[in-house]
């Protein structure tokens, strides 16, 4: 604990901060002031926030500091950043869309925000997103978020600010959403954990909708313990009793799945997969290559069909209201410009549904499957949020997926790998990652600070 207290509060993970906040050893006001100071130093370069009102944050913290120890909620004083496609009753929600440019808050919390707030979390501010969490960072908000490790590079998307703020130690926890790779990719690019739980684990009420089959709410953190803490709170639990002992690599089995998209993998991701394999084998784990059955070759096409045709339903209100304010990609969904037929849509639904238990069975042979998160380190183009194709299969298969940082690209930027378990084995995944994450960080070649982010 002594070493924890030597850290500046902004440096703490949620799991480190929470007992200090609960006991009163760390006042919520001091904690948020430390984070606000960190943000003040870093915001000019990173620009992760689209709404942040320091007074409002301090007021929340002061109010919480007045709560007696007995009456404190399970997440007392924990600061959480919220992707700006998620409703917050006291902050505007703008979706990076000129259609929602009003500064007036919509007077409702998304169900996940309502839960966090009621548990004593501090709803800190809103983080940047691509337009309605779809393709492009730059539409209305031209003040693009950058990668905290190199401001000429993208933080990824669509959860751009949520990934950048956590990766940059501006906040311990943020909420994001994933329809293709919108949590995993920014987590990889910014060097933090990004967790997309099993489909449906967290309420989507009050979140922007793109695809009912795909949209999933999840988290960014800098430790696996933080994800376990949040999963406890959100009732993300596997069947059976939790494991009583830490996971050990010796004798563990991992499936390495390069996937059909592997030919697109760049040098950084190729090296990360190779390095991870060496590390695991060195620690006594068994690593096997996993080739998914041929039917999985079609999954990316099915993902595209589902997101296009469900997008048509989701964006009708925006198209009807004012299409001149919408990115052409969104208008394209609204018009079903890709001519996806109902037959195509049904094939995608039914074939993916058929493959889900098949993937579960394959994944259940291993402690986890390891697979690329991204094509390579973050592109040197702030407006190009990158490629979702290494993530989309796991999204439409509804399995839990976790970006584990620890590797470095050719320019020293962070690269993560994705660990996957069967559906509703979210806690198995986190249990494995609690051991795996620190090993990758120690031996993979990248840790926070590697790129000169001030610590």
Q: Can residue 208 be called a binding residue for a second copy (CB under 8 A)?
A: yes
Residue in 47, 83, 258, 271 annotated catalytic:
83
Angstrom distances, CA of residue 191 to CA of 28, 29, 158, 217, 367: 26, 27, 16, 19, 23
Q: Distance between CA 84 and CA 110 in Å, rounded?
A: 11
Stretch of 28-36, 53-61, 152-160, 312-320 lying at the interface with a second copy (CB under 8 A): 312-320
Residue 140 burial (C-beta neighbours within 10 Å; 0-12, 13-18, 19+):
middle
Strand pairing report for 414-420 and 368-372 = antiparallel
Residue 403: other Cβ atoms inside 10 A: 31
Partners of residue 126 on adjacent β-strands: 51, 82
Q: Distance between CA 382 and CA 155 in Å, rounded?
A: 7
229-258: contacts with a second copy (CB under 8 A): 234-235, 237-239
Angstrom distances, CA of residue 6 to CA of 2, 3, 9: 6, 5, 9
Give the chain's length.
455
Beta carbon of residue 309, minimum distance to a second copy (angstroms, whole number): 9
Q: Distance between CA 60 and CA 57 in Å, rounded?
A: 5
Q: Can residue 34 be called a binding residue for a second copy (CB under 8 A)?
A: no
Beta carbon of residue 63, minimum distance to a second copy (angstroms, whole number): 16
- Cβ closer to a second copy: 274 or 364? 364
Beta carbon of residue 453, minimum distance to a second copy (angstroms, whole number): 34
Cα three-residue angle 70-73-78, rounded to 5 degrees: 125
Beta carbon of residue 195, minimum distance to a second copy (angstroms, whole number): 15
Rg (CA), the chain: 21
Beta carbon of residue 232, minimum distance to a second copy (angstroms, whole number): 12
Q: Can residue 119 be called a binding residue for a second copy (CB under 8 A)?
A: yes
Q: Among residues 203, 260, 435, 447, which is the contact residue for a second copy, using CB under 8 A? A: 203
Secondary structure class of 129 (helix, strand, coil): coil
Stretch of 31-39, 150-158, 311-319, 403-411 lying at the interface with a second copy (CB under 8 A): 311-319
Q: Among residues 33, 59, 349, 438, which is the contact residue for a second copy, using CB under 8 A? A: 349
DSSP 143-177: S---BTTBTTS---SSSHHHHHHHHTTS-SEEEEE
Active site residue 160: no
Angstrom distances, CA of residue 390 to CA of 99, 201, 266: 32, 22, 12
Q: Among residues 111, 260, 264, 435, which is the contact residue for a second copy, using CB under 8 A? A: 111
Active site residue 83: yes
Active site residue 115: no
Q: Can residue 98 be called a binding residue for a second copy (CB under 8 A)?
A: no
Task: Tell me how far the alpha carbon of residue 360 is from its chain's centroid.
Answer: 22
Residue in 97, 158, 159, 188 annotated catalytic:
158
- Cβ closer to a second copy: 86 or 408? 86
Task: Tell me how far the alpha carbon of residue 300 is from its chain's centroid.
Answer: 20
Q: Can residue 267 be called a binding residue for a second copy (CB under 8 A)?
A: no
Cα three-residue angle 176-398-435, rounded to 5 degrees: 70
Q: Can residue 86 be called a binding residue for a second copy (CB under 8 A)?
A: no
Residue in 162, 182, 188, 307 annotated catalytic:
182
Task: State the maximum Cα–Cα separation within the chain, in Å, rounded to a whole number.
Answer: 62
Beta carbon of residue 64, minimum distance to a second copy (angstroms, whole number): 15
Q: Can residue 346 be called a binding residue for a second copy (CB under 8 A)?
A: yes
363-392: contacts with a second copy (CB under 8 A): none
- Cβ closer to a second copy: 121 or 417? 121
Stretch of 20-28, 164-172, 268-276, 315-323 lying at the interface with a second copy (CB under 8 A): 315-323
- Supply the residues annotated as catalytic: 83, 158, 182
Q: Which residues bind a second copy (CB under 8 A)?
A: 87, 93, 102, 104-109, 111-115, 118-119, 199-205, 207-209, 212-213, 234-235, 237-239, 310, 312-314, 316-318, 320-321, 336, 341-343, 345-346, 349-350, 353-354, 356-357, 360, 423-424
């Amino acid at each position: 604990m002594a070493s924890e207290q030597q850290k500046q509060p902004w440096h703490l993970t949620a799991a480190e901060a929470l007992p200090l906040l609960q006991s009163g050893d760390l006042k919520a006001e001091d904690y948020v002031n430390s984070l606000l100071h960190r943000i003040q130093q870093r915001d000019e370069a990173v620009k992760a926030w689209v709404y942040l009102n320091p007074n409002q944050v301090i007021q929340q913290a002061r109010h919480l500091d007045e709560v007696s120890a007995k009456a404190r909620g399970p997440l007392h004083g924990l600061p959480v950043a919220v992707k700006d496609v998620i409703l917050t009753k006291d902050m505007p929600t703008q979706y990076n869309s000129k259609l929602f440019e009003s500064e007036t808050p919509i007077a409702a919390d998304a169900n996940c925000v309502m839960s966090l707030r009621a548990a004593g979390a501090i709803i800190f501010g809103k983080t940047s997103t691509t337009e309605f969490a779809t393709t492009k960072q730059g539409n209305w908000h031209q003040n693009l978020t950058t990668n905290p490790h190199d401001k000429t590079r993208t933080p990824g998307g669509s959860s751009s600010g949520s990934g950048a703020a956590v990766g940059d130690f501006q906040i311990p926890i943020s909420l994001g959403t994933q329809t293709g790779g919108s949590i995993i990719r920014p987590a990889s690019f910014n060097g933090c954990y990004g967790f997309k739980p099993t489909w449906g684990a967290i309420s989507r009420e009050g979140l922007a909708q793109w695809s009912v089959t795909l949209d999933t709410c999840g988290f960014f953190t800098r430790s696996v313990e933080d994800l376990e803490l949040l999963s406890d709170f959100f009732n993300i639990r596997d069947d059976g009793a939790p494991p009583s002992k830490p996971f050990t690599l010796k004798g563990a089995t991992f499936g390495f799945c390069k996937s059909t998209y592997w030919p697109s993998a760049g040098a950084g991701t190729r090296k990360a997969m190779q390095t991870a394999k060496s590390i695991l084998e060195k620690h006594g784990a068994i690593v096997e290559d996993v080739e998914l059955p041929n039917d999985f070759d079609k999954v990316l096409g099915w993902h595209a069909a589902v997101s296009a045709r469900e997008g048509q339903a989701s964006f009708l209100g925006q198209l009807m209201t004012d299409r001149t304010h919408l990115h052409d990609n969104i208008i394209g969904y609204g018009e079903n410009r890709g001519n996806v037929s109902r037959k195509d849509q049904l094939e995608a639904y039914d074939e993916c549904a058929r493959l889900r238990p098949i993937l579960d069975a394959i994944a259940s042979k291993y402690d986890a499957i390891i697979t690329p998160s991204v094509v390579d380190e973050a592109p040197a183009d702030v407006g190009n949020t990158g490629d979702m194709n290494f993530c989309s299969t796991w999204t439409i298969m509804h399995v839990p997926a976790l970006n584990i940082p620890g590797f470095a690209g050719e320019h020293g930027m962070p690269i993560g790998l994705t660990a996957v378990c069967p559906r509703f084995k979210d806690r198995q995944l986190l249990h494995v990652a609690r051991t795996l994450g620190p090993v990758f960080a120690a031996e993979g070649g990248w840790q926070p600070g590697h790129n000169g982010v001030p610590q």
